[in-house]
C-alpha cells in the first residue's frame, strides 16, 4: 500500500466533485472512498469525520477497494450486509402487523416487534423508519385504513368495518376520514357515492389522456388507449361516484396539461386532490421538486427523504401515483440510469424524458 503522506488522487474535475460530496457527506450511489491511514472503504455520505484529502482514494465499487486491501467501514456498511439484515427484520415486523390486521387482532406494539427482531426498542424504531420510511405506528395505521376501505367497499356496515379494522371508535374515523381514506367511510362503502368527478379528455403527443377533477382539485391525470377505457378505469375506482362531463375548471386543466406536453417547461401547476398515505404524499411532494429535464434514481430520492435504505418503498409510492405529469414520477430512474416501471408504459416515460431534455437543451 502507498505511503500515507503521498497524494493518492488525481485532482481532476471528477474527483474534485467527489471530494466536495465527501465533505458535504452527500450520498452518491455507486461511488466509494477509501482512507489509507485507516485501511477502510466507505460509501459517500458516511457519517465519519472527513479524512485528509491526501489520504483518500476513490473507487467505483466496494469489491475494487477490497481487492486493493481495504476493509468495509463498520459505520456506513458499504457492502450492505447489515442493511440486508435490518431490512429482513423490518419485513418480518411488517408481516406480523399485516397478519394481525388481517385476522382482526390488535397490532403488536413497538416493544413486542423490537423484541421479536432482537433489537432494543429505540434502535428498532430508527431502523424501521430508515427502511420503511414511516414509523411502525404509521405503517399499522395504513394497514388498518386499507382493511377498513376493503371492508366498506365489500358492503360491510360502517360500525362493523371500523371494529374489524382495529380503530378505537367510529367517531374517530369520521372526524379524520379524509386523512384515513381520502373520503368519509360512508362514501367509500357506497363506492364513492356523493363524490362528483368532472372529466375532460384530450389527444396529446403521448396518446389520449383524461383529467379527473373534484371540487378540491385534480385527482387523476391518466394516459390510455382511448376515452372509453380511461372512463372505465375511473368508474371502476369510484363505481358509485357521479362522473360528469367537464366544467370550466376541468376543461382549463386538461388544456394546461396538453400545452405542457407540447412544451414541457417548469412545473405543471394545478390544484391537486392527492389521495394516498402520509408517506406516499411525502414522496409525491418530493417528486414535484425535481426540475423538468432532470432525473434522480430511487436510492437518491430515498436519501433525500432521510431514508437511505428506502429505495423500494419510494418505488412503490411512485407506482401508486395516479396524477401523471403534475407529480412527475417519470423523472425517477434506476441507479444505472435505466428506465424502470411506469404505470403508463416505459415508452411514454422515455418520450417524456426526451421532450423535457430537448426543451432544456
Closest C-alpha to 300, from 292, 310, 285, 288: 310
Q: Is 107 a domain residue? A: yes
Domain count, the chain: 4
Secondary structure (3-state) at 57: strand
Q: Is 349 exposed, middle or buried (0-12, 13-18, 19+ CB in 10 A)?
A: buried
Distance CA 130, CA 314 (A): 12
| Cα end-to-end span (Å), the chain | 45
- 311-340: pLDDT as tens digits: 888 888 898 898 999 999 999 998 878 888
Query: Containing domain of residue 105, as a range?
Result: 80-190
Q: Is 250 a domain residue? A: yes
Same domain as 283, residue 256: no
Where is the domain boundary, 56, 72, 88?
Answer: 72
Closest C-alpha to 94, from 29, 144, 155, 140: 140
Same domain as 258, residue 332: no
Is 235 in contact with 203 (CB distance < 8 Å)?
Answer: no
Instruction: Take residue 291 and report the three cell numbers written for it.
Output: 426540475
Q: Which residues contact 160 (CB under 8 A, 6 or more apart)?
A: 151
Same domain as 86, residue 56: no
CA angle 181, 183, 185 (to 5 degrees): 75
Q: Give the CATH number of the domain where residue 49 resides.
A: 3.40.10.10
Polymer length in residues for the chain = 361
Same domain as 85, residue 18: no
Distance CA 154, CA 184 (A): 15
Where is the domain boundary, 139, 155, 190?
Answer: 190
Please report the pLDDT score of residue 167 as a whole number.
Answer: 57
Please report the pLDDT score of residue 281 as a whole number.
Answer: 84
Backbone angles phi, psi at 154, to 5 degrees: -80, -5
State the catalytic residues.
Answer: 42, 329
The pairing of beta strand 40-43 with beta strand 71-72: parallel
Please report the pLDDT score of residue 153 as a whole number.
Answer: 57
> For the chain, which ranges sit under pLDDT 70?
1-13, 133, 146-194, 238, 240, 266, 358-361
Strand partners, 278: none
Q: Is 5 a domain residue? A: no
Q: Is 324 a domain residue? A: yes
Please report the pLDDT score of residue 179 as a whole number.
Answer: 47
Q: Give the CATH number of the domain where residue 318 resides.
A: 1.10.10.10
Q: Which residues contact 11 (CB under 8 A, 6 or more apart)?
A: none
Please report the pLDDT score of residue 170 as a whole number.
Answer: 47
Is 121 in contact with 111 (CB distance < 8 Å)?
Answer: yes
Distance CA 343, CA 358 (A): 23
Where is the domain boundary, 148, 166, 190?
Answer: 190
Same domain as 120, residue 41: no
Cα torsion for 323, 327, 333, 339, to the nearest 10°? 30
Q: Is 2 a domain residue? A: no
Q: Is 4 a domain residue? A: no
Amino acid at each position: 500500500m502507498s505511503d500515507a503522506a503521498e497524494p493518492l488522487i488525481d485532482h481532476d474535475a471528477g474527483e474534485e466533485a467527489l471530494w466536495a460530496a465527501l465533505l458535504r457527506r452527500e450520498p452518491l450511489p455507486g461511488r466509494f472512498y477509501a482512507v489509507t491511514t485507516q485501511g477502510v472503504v466507505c460509501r459517500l455520505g458516511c457519517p465519519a469525520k472527513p479524512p485528509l484529502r491526501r489520504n483518500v482514494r476513490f473507487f467505483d465499487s466496494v469489491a475494487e477497494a477490497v481487492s486493493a486491501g481495504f476493509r468495509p467501514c463498520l459505520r456506513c456498511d458499504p457492502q450492505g450486509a447489515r442493511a440486508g439484515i435490518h431490512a429482513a427484520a423490518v419485513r418480518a415486523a411488517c408481516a406480523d402487523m399485516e397478519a394481525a390486521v388481517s385476522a382482526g387482532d390488535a397490532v403488536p406494539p413497538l416493544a413486542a416487534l423490537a423484541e421479536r427482531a432482537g433489537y432494543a426498542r429505540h434502535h428498532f424504531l430508527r431502523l424501521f423508519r430508515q427502511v420503511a420510511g414511516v414509523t411502525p405506528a404509521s405503517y399499522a395505521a395504513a394497514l388498518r385504513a386499507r382493511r377498513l376501505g376493503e371492508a366498506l367497499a365489500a358492503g360491510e356496515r360502517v360500525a362493523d368495518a371500523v371494529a374489524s379494522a382495529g380503530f378505537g371508535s367510529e367517531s374517530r374515523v369520521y372526524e379524520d376520514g379524509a386523512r384515513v381514506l381520502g373520503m368519509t367511510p360512508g362514501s367509500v362503502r357506497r363506492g364513492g357515492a356523493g363524490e362528483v368527478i368532472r372529466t375532460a379528455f384530450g389527444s396529446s403527443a403521448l396518446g389520449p389522456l383524461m383529467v379527473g377533477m373534484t371540487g378540491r382539485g385534480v385527482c387523476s391525470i391518466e394516459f390510455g388507449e382511448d376515452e372509453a377505457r380511461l372512463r372505465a378505469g375511473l368508474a371502476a375506482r369510484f363505481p358509485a361516484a357521479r362522473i360528469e362531463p367537464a366544467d370550466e375548471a376541468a376543461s382549463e386543466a386538461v388544456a394546461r396539461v396538453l400545452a405542457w406536453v407540447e412544451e414541457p417547461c417548469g412545473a405543471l401547476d394545478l390544484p391537486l386532490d392527492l389521495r394516498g398515505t402520509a408517506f406516499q404524499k411525502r414522496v409525491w411532494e418530493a417528486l414535484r421538486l425535481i426540475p423538468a429535464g432532470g432525473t434522480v434514481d430511487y436510492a437518491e430520492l430515498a436519501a433525500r427523504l432521510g431514508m437511505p435504505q428506502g429505495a423500494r418503498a419510494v418505488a412503490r409510492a411512485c407506482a401508486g401515483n395516479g396524477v401523471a405529469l403534475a407529480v412527475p414520477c417519470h423523472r425517477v430512474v434506476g441507479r444505472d440510469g435505466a428506465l424502470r416501471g411506469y404505470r403508463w408504459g416505459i415508452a411514454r416515460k422515455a418520450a417524456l424524458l426526451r421532450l423535457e431534455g430537448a426543451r432544456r437543451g
